[in-house]
Amino acid sequence: MAEKTIRLKRTGLYASGATPVNMIQAIFYNEDMLVYDLEDSVPASEKDAARLLVYRMLKEHRPEGKYICIRVNGIYSEELEQDLEAAVRANPDCIRIPKVEYAREVQAISRRIAQIEEAVGLEVGKIELICNIESYMGVLNAQEIAMADPRVVALSVAAEDLTASLKAQRTKAGLEVFYARNAVLLACRAAGVDALDIVFSDINDEEGLRADTALAKNLGFDGKTVVHPRQIDVVNSYFTPSMKEIKYALRVLKAVEDGKAAGKGAVTLDGGMIDKPMELRARTTLAQAAAAGINVERMVI
């Protein structure tokens, strides 16, 4: 299995495989994660064309400096096999699976990806997975999903289908999905993977977006899916770490380095053990700071 790398996911923007203009424009915005979509935004009659367009886009115009995903069609969809065949060959950073409910679903897809990777000569295990949690069952099984496979790097909560599954009413305040957001977040923390928050749907309500993003950041999420490019800069700004967070991350990494130099197996900081997820989070914090233009090199900790 390939080594995990730190890739920022403060903002995830979808670009429909059925809309070439949006696919082109999405290159130029400041989102960390660009998700080329083969699922909901693509009409059934255009699935094959979208698959080809996304494949060509990645092969010929893959944007630099972004975490590139392809969202395939659902696990039980007739489209999935062809989606995986095309998506793996396009060699994205990640494949995003919609409506995940059980660990076995993730494992089955991971195995299929491995077969295709092997068949086309790609490094097996390199393509990562993000699982979209969009139902009550997905929420209940979030921890097993997050731990289902080494490829899984994040879980993302999606509120629209989730509220339907809960028989809840979708509101701007979002209390109806508050538990689900936290449940998925806890699962991600337990598994040491990133937690990606729900979209804020009203693109004309910047104040609402700010409040919702502040909540997501305070809850502990690593990023948020956006519904419109106009939301990107606002969301990115909230996921820029504070000076306190940056300094703590620097201390964690210094302790890890000192521990390595001293040949210690276990490293502690302020009396607590530093485990691998903590180290990864510290590195992520510094990557977020760097993305926001903060120079941490000479920072006094």
Partner 1 sequence: MINAVGREIPEKIGDYVVRPYTGAYDGAPSTTPVHSLRCAGKTTSDTQKLTYSLEDAIRRAGLTDGMTISFHHSFREGDKIIGQVLLAIRALGIKDLKFAPSAVVNIKNPSIVDFVKDGTITSIEASGIRGELGDAVLEGLMDQPVILRPHGSRPRAIEAGELKIDVAFIGASAADEYGNATGQIGPNACGALGYSFIDATSAAKVVVVTDYLVDYPCVPASISQQYVDVVCKVDEIGDPEKIGKGATRMTKNPRDLMIAQRSADVMAASRRFKDGFGFQTGAGAISIACTNYLAKHMEEKGIKASFALGGMTASIVEMYHKGLVRVLECSQCFDSVAARAIVENANIVEIDNAVYSNAHTKGAMLDKLTFGILAALEVDTDFNVNILTGSSGEMMGGLGGGPDVSAGADISIVCLPIVRGRTPSVTKRVFTCCTPGETVAAVVTEAGIALNPRHRHYEELKEDLTKAGMKLVTIEYLQKMAESLTGVPQPIETTDRVVCVVEYRDGSVIDVIREIKK
Binding site for partner 1 (CB under 8 A): 21, 24-25, 27-29, 60-61, 228-230, 293
Least Å distance, CB 115 to partner 1, is 33
Closest CA to 54 of 65, 44, 39, 66: 39
Q: How far apart are CA 80 and CA 154, in angstroms?
A: 20
Closest CA to 251 of 291, 286, 225, 207: 286
Least Å distance, CB 74 to partner 1, is 29
- The single-letter code of the amino acid at 206 is E
Q: How far apart are CA 119 and CA 138, in angstroms?
A: 31
Residue number with CB closer to partner 1 (60 or 297): 60
Least Å distance, CB 223 to partner 1, is 19
Tokens of 167: 């028989």
Other beta carbons within 10 angstroms of residue 295's beta carbon come to: 8
Residue number with CB closer to partner 1 (60 or 207): 60
Q: How many residues does the chain have?
A: 301
Residue number with CB closer to partner 1 (132 or 288): 288
Residue number with CB closer to partner 1 (15 or 109): 15
Q: What's 4's DSSP letter?
A: P
Q: How far apart are CA 139 and CA 127, in angstroms?
A: 24
Residue number with CB closer to partner 1 (28 or 76): 28
Q: What's 298's DSSP letter?
A: T
Q: How far apart are CA 3 and CA 124, in angstroms?
A: 11
Least Å distance, CB 61 to partner 1, is 6
Least Å distance, CB 229 to partner 1, is 4
Residue number with CB closer to partner 1 (174 or 229): 229
- The single-letter code of the amino acid at 215 is L
Closest CA to 177 of 189, 160, 190, 191: 160
Least Å distance, CB 205 to partner 1, is 13
Hey, which bits of the chain come out as E strands?
A: 11-16, 33-37, 67-71, 94-97, 128-133, 152-157, 194-197, 223-226, 268-269, 272-273
Residue number with CB closer to partner 1 (21 or 273): 21
Least Å distance, CB 228 to partner 1, is 7
Other beta carbons within 10 angstroms of residue 284's beta carbon come to: 19
Residue number with CB closer to partner 1 (184 or 226): 226
Least Å distance, CB 125 to partner 1, is 31
- Phi, psi for residue 29 in degrees, rounded to 5: -85, 180
